[in-house]
With several copies, the nearest count.
Chain A
Amino acid sequence: MSCSIFHAAHEDQRVFEMSDYQGPVARWCSGCGDHSVLAATQRLMTDEQLKPETTVFVSGIGCSSRFPHYMKTYGFHGIHGRALPIATGVKLSRPDLDVFVVMGDGDCVSIGAAHWIHSIRYNVDMVALLLDNNIYGLTKMQTSPTTPQGYKSNTQPYGSYLPALNPLEATLGVTNASFVAQTAEWVPAHLFATLQAAYRHRGFAFVRILQRCPHFTPDMYDEAVKQPDVVEILTHPEGIVVDGLDKIYKNQVRHDPANIHAARELAQEDAIRLGLFYRDETNPRYEETRSLPRRTAREKMDLLNEDFDHYAV
C-alpha cells in the first residue's frame, strides 16, 4: 500500500518509535507464532513510519484475530470469517487509510472462503495476512481446511479425512490475483521482508504465514523449523530479497514472480516454499476504479433537484 507516501504529503513532524505501535501485552500462549508476526508488523510500521491514527487492523475471530487488540492503532475485531468484507468497506470509503487484515486459517479458508475468493478478485489495496497454524486454536483444536490429512483433532480424533486445502494454489487460481506470497513466522528476516513487500504492493497482497501453535500442534512445523533443508526459498530480484538467508537455507529456487504458471506449479505442497509466488501490479485497484469526486451538500442538492425534474408531474 502506498498511502504512507500520500500521508507524507501533509508534513507531519512526528517520528514514531516501535513503542508507539505497541498495545497491551499479547495474551497468546507463550511460544505462539502470533507473537513474532506482531513484532514484525510493529517493526514494519516503524520502518515505514505509518501513522497510528490512519492505520486500521481488521480481523475476524480466532487467536490470531486478537491481533488488533495488541496494536496501538485503530482496530476492528470483527466476526468469524468476515474480516475481508469489513476491510473492503473501510478502504472503499476511506482510501486514505492503510488497511491490514489478519485472519486465521479457519477464519479465511473455511467460513470466510467466499469473501477470500472475491477479495482476491476485487483487488482492494490492502495487506491480507493468513496466520496458518493448520488448526482451530481459539476453539481448542478442531480440524481446519489446512490441517494435514490424517492429523488428529478434537472433531476428527481418528485423523482429518481430507487432504489439506492449499491456500496458495487456490489464491493463484482466482482471476485478478495480484500478490501472493508465503513466509514463516520462525524466519523473522523473511517474515519482515515479506510484510514489507506486501505493504508496498499496490493491490490486494495475500500472505500466507506458516504459524506455529505450540499449545495444540507443537509438532506441526517441527521438521521445517529444525531442518532448514526441507524448506525452499524462492529468489528473484523482483521477488522477496533477504540477504544472508542462504547461509541457513541452502535450497534456493529462482522464480520470476511474473510467471503465473510457474507460480502455480511451485505452490504445490511437495515442498515448503517461502517467497513471492506471484505479483502483478497492473491490475487496477477496486477502490480506485470506484473512487469518485466528492460533492458538497449543495452540489448534491442541485443534482437531486435535476433528478426530481424527471419525475415531475
Chain B
Amino acid sequence: MKLPAVGATALADREPSVRSVTDLSVEIVSDSGEGAQKCGQIFGAVSAKMGNGVWTVEIIPAEVEPPPRNPAGASGIRIRLGDQEVTNWGDETNLVVAFNEQALLGRHGLNALAPDATVLVESMWATHPDPDIQKQWADAMEELSGRDYTIIEVPMEEQCLTVVDNPRKGKNMFALGMLCWIFDRDVERAKEQIAHAFRSKAAVITERNHQLLDLGYEWAEENLGFRYEIPTMEEGAPKVVMNGNEAIALGAVAAGLELAAMYPITPATSVSHMLGEVFEKYGGVVHQAEDEIAAAGVAIGSSYAGRCAFTITSGPGLALKTEFIGLAVMAEIPLVVVDVQRGGPSTGLPTKVEQSDLLAATFGQPGDAPHVVMAPATIEECFHIMTTARRVAEALRTVVVVLTDANLATGVAPFPRPELSAEWQAAPPDQRPIPGGLAPYAWDDRTGLSRRFIPGQPGGEHTLTGLAHDERSKVAYDSAINEWSSTMRSRKVAVFQHTLLPPEVNGDPDGGDLLVVGWGSTKGAIEEAVGRVRAEGLSVSSLHLTMLSPLPPGLKDIFSRFEKVMTVEINYSDKKGDPFITDENRRRGQLAWLLRASTLVDVDCWTRVLGEPLRPGRIAHAIRENMPGGAA
C-alpha cells in the first residue's frame, strides 16, 4: 500500500490517528555523510530524557563512504523505544525515515523492516532528472510493494531548500523534526540536545538546525495522518546514556588504569578515541603502538613497573597478542586485555557483532596458560567490569581477558549513574623495601598466590623470565620445578573460582523443561525472548554467565534441574540434521563446548553468525523449536 503525502490543507484541521504502543523501533537510513546517525542519537537522547526506555544502534557500512544510493552502502541508525527499560535492539523496525529509496532497499533486503512498517521516504528521486535514477526508484517501489509497508513520500529536499542551500547537510534535522512531532517529543529538550551536539561548531549551525527542526515538525503536523504514543517511566534514579565502548573507557578511568596501549582496530578503537579525549586530564596515557604485539608489550612493561595497564583490540589483534599473553601468565604479570569481538575468522566482518573469540581467549596460548576470562552483559557492566578486571589481574598476578562485542560497543542505552568510589582506584606502585629473604615468587603452597615485586623496591632485585623458573625466578634446570610452578599458576585460579557465586537463574530456579544459557551482549535479547515464551506458558528459564574461565560453581547442579540445556550464542555451530553432520562431528557453540567439557551435560546450542545482534523474536522462535519433546 502506498499513499502520497496528503496536501497540507487537507489535514490541517482534522486530528491524526494516534497509535499507542509500548515498544517500537525507528530507523533513519541514508547515504553515509548525511547525518542520519546524529539525528537518531539526538532523538534517542531526548526520548531517554522524557522517560522512555531506549536502545540505539548505528548501521555502519563496510566502507568509509561507499557509492551513494547503494543498497550495500546504507548508513543509519535504529532507535528502539519502550515504556520499560530496553535491553537490546529488538526485532524489526516499525517506522523508517529514508533519505533515498536504495538505502531503504538495503534494509528491506536484510529483513530489517516489519511487514507492516511505515516508511517516510524522500520523494525527490521519483522525479529526478536522471532517467536511471527514476528507473531505480520505480524498480525499488515495485520490489517494496511486495510487502505491506505503508510508504509515504516526503519532499525533504524541497522543504530543506527553503532554509539551507545544501540539504545533504540539513535533512537529518528535518527528519528529527518529523520524529519529534510523530512521537510528541518536547521540542525544547530537542533544541537543547541539538545545541549540545553541535557545541563545538559555530552558533549559526545550531540556529539553522533549530530552524530545520521546526520545519520538519510543522511539515509533519500538516501532512502526516498518524502519531505514536509510548508511555514513559517515572523519573527514577539519575541515569547516564552512552555506548559500551564509552563505558569501557570511563570504566578504565574508574579502575585507576593509567595506560591504554593499543593499535587501532574496529570495533575497539572508539574506546581509545574517547580516552584520547579525556584520559590525559586524569594523568592517563593512550599509547598507539606500531602494532598489537607492541601494544601488549608496552602494557606488560607498564604493569611490571607497577602501573597496571590494559590493551584493547579485536579478533585479529587478539591473535597477535597471543604470545605476550602467554608471557604475562608465565611471569605472573597483571594484564587486562579487552577484546571487542567482531565477525571472524580473519578479517571477517569488521563492523559486525560475533561472539566467537571465547575459545581463543581461553585456550589460544600455546602451553598451559591458566588465566581469567570474563564478559560484561550490559553497557553498565562494561563500566564496572574494568575495575573487577584490574583487581583480579593484580590479585592473581595474571591476565584477565574481557570479552565485549560490536553490539555492546555501538549500542547506546541509559543506565543508572554509578556511585563512584575512590576505592576502585589502583594503589600507586609499592616502593617499600622487600623483607630480606622473600622470593619474587614466594608462592603460598596452598593458594599459589605470591607478592609481586616492583622495580624501585630495594631488596626486590630479580630477573623476571618467561622461561620455566623457580620461586626465586631462577631458570629451572630441575624437572620437578616446572611441575610445581605450573601447579601454582593453576592453583590460584582455582582459588579464585572458589570466591565465585553460582549464577542466578532467570525464571524458575527450581528447574523446568528448558534452560537457555548465554554469555555477553545477548543477555537482554535472551531474557526478553524467555519472557515472551514464558508468557506463552512454556517452562523455560535462562542463565547468563559473566565469568567464563574459570566457570562459576554450581552449573551442573543447576543444569540437572532442567530437562534440556541449550546455549544461545552469536557464533558458528553446525545445524543438526545437516548433511554429514552427526552428534559426533558437530561443531557446537563455543560456550556449549566449555559447558559440555566441564559438566558432561549434553548441552545443545542455537547459534547464528548473521553479522547482527540476535533478535528476541528469533530466539523465542528457536526456543519453541527446541523445546524437549519437539516444537511446542
User: Is there an interface contact between B298 and A154, defined as CB atoms closer than 8 Å?
Assistant: no
Residues of B within 8 A of A68 (CB): 463
> How far apart are the CA atoms of A81 and B292 in the complex, in Å?
11
B626 interface contact, C-beta 8 A: no
What is the 8 Å Cβ interface bit string for chain B, positions 387-427, against chain A (1 contact, 0 not)?
Answer: 00000000000000000000000000010011011100100
User: Is there an interface contact between B290 and A86, defined as CB atoms closer than 8 Å?
Assistant: no
> How far apart are the CA atoms of A93 and B285 in the complex, in Å?
9
Among B73, B253, B316, B429, the residue within 8 A (CB) of A80 is: B316
User: Is there an interface contact between A54 and B456, defined as CB atoms closer than 8 Å?
Assistant: yes
User: Is there an interface contact between B302 and A89, defined as CB atoms closer than 8 Å?
Assistant: yes
- Of the candidates B64, B285, B286, B453, the one having the most CB atoms from chain A within 10 angstroms of its own CB is B64
What is the 8 Å Cβ interface bit string for chain B, positions 325-349, against chain A (1 contact, 0 not)?
Answer: 0010000000000000000001100
User: Is there an interface contact between B465 and A69, defined as CB atoms closer than 8 Å?
Assistant: yes
User: Is there an interface contact between A53 and B294, defined as CB atoms closer than 8 Å?
Assistant: no
User: Is there an interface contact between A304 and B250, defined as CB atoms closer than 8 Å?
Assistant: yes
B364 interface contact, C-beta 8 A: no
* Chain A to chain B: the 10 pairs with minimum beta-carbon distance, closest first: A89-B301, A85-B297, A75-B463, A29-B65, A89-B298, A297-B425, A77-B465, A85-B294, A297-B422, A111-B291
Residues of B within 8 A of A230 (CB): none
User: Is there an interface contact between B290 and A113, defined as CB atoms closer than 8 Å?
Assistant: yes
B282 interface contact, C-beta 8 A: yes
A166 interface contact, C-beta 8 A: no
Residues of B within 8 A of A77 (CB): 463-467
B126 interface contact, C-beta 8 A: no
A88 interface contact, C-beta 8 A: yes
User: Is there an interface contact between A155 and B273, defined as CB atoms closer than 8 Å?
Assistant: yes
User: Shortest beta-carbon distance, A196 to chain B, in Å?
Assistant: 22
Residues of A within 8 A of B291 (CB): 81, 110-111, 113-114
User: Is there an interface contact between A301 and B429, defined as CB atoms closer than 8 Å?
Assistant: no
> How far apart are the CA atoms of A57 and B465 in the complex, in Å?
12
A-B contact count (CB 8 A): 259
B239 interface contact, C-beta 8 A: yes
> How far apart are the CA atoms of A113 and B294 in the complex, in Å?
12
B289 interface contact, C-beta 8 A: yes
User: Is there an interface contact between A94 and B467, defined as CB atoms closer than 8 Å?
Assistant: no
Among B278, B285, B323, B474, the residue within 8 A (CB) of A292 is: B285
A82 interface contact, C-beta 8 A: yes
User: Is there an interface contact between A313 and B414, defined as CB atoms closer than 8 Å?
Assistant: yes
Of B255-263, B494-502, B503-511, B594-602, the segment with at least 4 beta carbons within 8 Å of chain A is B255-263
A76 and B298 contact, Cβ closer than 8 Å, known pairs A93-B306, A94-B456: no
User: Is there an interface contact between A298 and B422, defined as CB atoms closer than 8 Å?
Assistant: yes
Closest residue on chain A to residue B48 by CB atoms: A313
Closest residue on chain B to residue A20 by CB atoms: B461
B293 interface contact, C-beta 8 A: yes
User: Is there an interface contact between A74 and B461, defined as CB atoms closer than 8 Å?
Assistant: yes
User: Is there an interface contact between B282 and A156, defined as CB atoms closer than 8 Å?
Assistant: no
Closest residue on chain B to residue A305 by CB atoms: B420
Q: Which of A64-103 contact B (CB under 8 A)?
A: 66, 68-69, 71-82, 84-94, 96-97
User: Is there an interface contact between A157 and B276, defined as CB atoms closer than 8 Å?
Assistant: yes
User: Shortest beta-carbon distance, B418 to chain A, in Å?
Assistant: 8
A111 and B288 contact, Cβ closer than 8 Å, known pairs A25-B67, A52-B461, A94-B306: no
B307 interface contact, C-beta 8 A: yes
Of B88-96, B149-157, B264-272, B482-490, the segment with at least 4 beta carbons within 8 Å of chain A is B264-272
> How far apart are the CA atoms of A136 and B269 in the complex, in Å?
12
A308 interface contact, C-beta 8 A: yes
Among A92, A113, A139, A158, the residue within 8 A (CB) of B280 is: A158
> How far apart are the CA atoms of A305 and B306 in the complex, in Å?
26
What is the 8 Å Cβ interface bit string for chain B, positions 208-242, against chain A (1 contact, 0 not)?
Answer: 00000000000000000000000000000011111
Among A57, A96, A114, A300, the residue within 8 A (CB) of B294 is: A114
User: Is there an interface contact between B462 and A75, defined as CB atoms closer than 8 Å?
Assistant: yes
A89 and B304 contact, Cβ closer than 8 Å, known pairs A142-B288, A156-B288: yes
User: Is there an interface contact between A90 and B269, defined as CB atoms closer than 8 Å?
Assistant: no
Task: Give 27 CB contacts A-B under 8 Å.
Answer: A29-B65, A73-B461, A74-B462, A77-B467, A80-B316, A85-B296, A86-B304, A87-B301, A88-B301, A89-B259, A89-B261, A92-B287, A92-B298, A94-B305, A111-B291, A137-B64, A139-B264, A140-B269, A142-B269, A154-B273, A215-B64, A215-B65, A295-B283, A300-B283, A304-B282, A313-B48, A313-B414
Closest residue on chain B to residue A61 by CB atoms: B347
User: Shortest beta-carbon distance, B394 to chain A, in Å?
Assistant: 14
User: Is there an interface contact between A75 and B276, defined as CB atoms closer than 8 Å?
Assistant: no
> How far apart are the CA atoms of A52 and B466 in the complex, in Å?
22
> How far apart are the CA atoms of A138 and B45 in the complex, in Å?
28
> How far apart are the CA atoms of A225 and B444 in the complex, in Å?
52
Q: Which of A5-34 contact B (CB under 8 A)?
A: 23, 25, 27-30
A264 interface contact, C-beta 8 A: no
> How far apart are the CA atoms of A66 and B66 in the complex, in Å?
12
A307 interface contact, C-beta 8 A: yes
A220 interface contact, C-beta 8 A: no
A226 interface contact, C-beta 8 A: no
Residues of A that sit less than 8 Å from B by CB: 23, 25, 27-30, 51-54, 56-58, 61, 63, 66, 68-69, 71-82, 84-94, 96-97, 106, 110-111, 113-115, 117-118, 136-140, 142-143, 145, 154-158, 215-216, 290, 292-295, 297-298, 300-301, 303-305, 307-308, 311-313
User: Shortest beta-carbon distance, B395 to chain A, in Å?
Assistant: 18
Among B258, B277, B290, the residue within 8 A (CB) of A115 is: B290
Closest residue on chain A to residue B298 by CB atoms: A89
User: Is there an interface contact between B276 and A155, defined as CB atoms closer than 8 Å?
Assistant: yes
B555 interface contact, C-beta 8 A: no
User: Shortest beta-carbon distance, A309 to chain B, in Å?
Assistant: 9
User: Is there an interface contact between B463 and A94, defined as CB atoms closer than 8 Å?
Assistant: no
> How far apart are the CA atoms of A30 and B32 in the complex, in Å?
12
- Of the candidates B73, B272, B296, B301, the one having the most CB atoms from chain A within 10 angstroms of its own CB is B301
User: Is there an interface contact between B240 and A313, defined as CB atoms closer than 8 Å?
Assistant: yes
User: Is there an interface contact between A308 and B240, defined as CB atoms closer than 8 Å?
Assistant: yes
Among B241, B258, B464, the residue within 8 A (CB) of A93 is: B258
> How far apart are the CA atoms of A78 and B467 in the complex, in Å?
9
User: Shortest beta-carbon distance, A122 to chain B, in Å?
Assistant: 9
Residues of A within 8 A of B428 (CB): 294
Known: A74-B463, A111-B291. 5 other contacts (CB 8 A): A82-B324, A85-B298, A93-B259, A93-B306, A157-B273
What is the 8 Å Cβ interface bit string for chain B, positions 452-480, against chain A (1 contact, 0 not)?
Answer: 01011111111111110000001100000
A56 and B455 contact, Cβ closer than 8 Å, known pairs A76-B464, A86-B304, A155-B276: yes
Residues of B within 8 A of A73 (CB): 461
A312 and B417 contact, Cβ closer than 8 Å, known pairs A89-B302, A155-B276, A295-B283: yes
Q: Which of B34-75 contact A (CB under 8 A)?
A: 45, 48-49, 63-67, 73
User: Is there an interface contact between B327 and A78, defined as CB atoms closer than 8 Å?
Assistant: yes
User: Is there an interface contact between A94 and B307, defined as CB atoms closer than 8 Å?
Assistant: yes
> How far apart are the CA atoms of A140 and B297 in the complex, in Å?
25
Among B272, B420, B425, the residue within 8 A (CB) of A155 is: B272
Residues of A within 8 A of B305 (CB): 56, 89-90, 93-94, 97
B526 interface contact, C-beta 8 A: no
> How far apart are the CA atoms of A137 and B64 in the complex, in Å?
8
Closest residue on chain A to residue B269 by CB atoms: A139
- Of the candidates B261, B290, B292, B460, the one having the most CB atoms from chain A within 10 angstroms of its own CB is B290
A90 and B48 contact, Cβ closer than 8 Å, known pairs A85-B294, A303-B282: no
B375 interface contact, C-beta 8 A: no
- Of the candidates A92, A96, A157, A295, the one having the most CB atoms from chain B within 10 angstroms of its own CB is A92
> How far apart are the CA atoms of A290 and B307 in the complex, in Å?
15
Residues of B within 8 A of A87 (CB): 301
Among A79, A82, A156, A294, the residue within 8 A (CB) of B276 is: A156
Among A90, A118, A137, the residue within 8 A (CB) of B301 is: A90
Residues of A within 8 A of B256 (CB): 297, 300
Among A76, A92, A313, the residue within 8 A (CB) of B259 is: A92
Residues of A within 8 A of B418 (CB): 308
Closest residue on chain B to residue A21 by CB atoms: B461
Residues of A within 8 A of B323 (CB): 79
Residues of B within 8 A of A69 (CB): 463, 465, 474-475
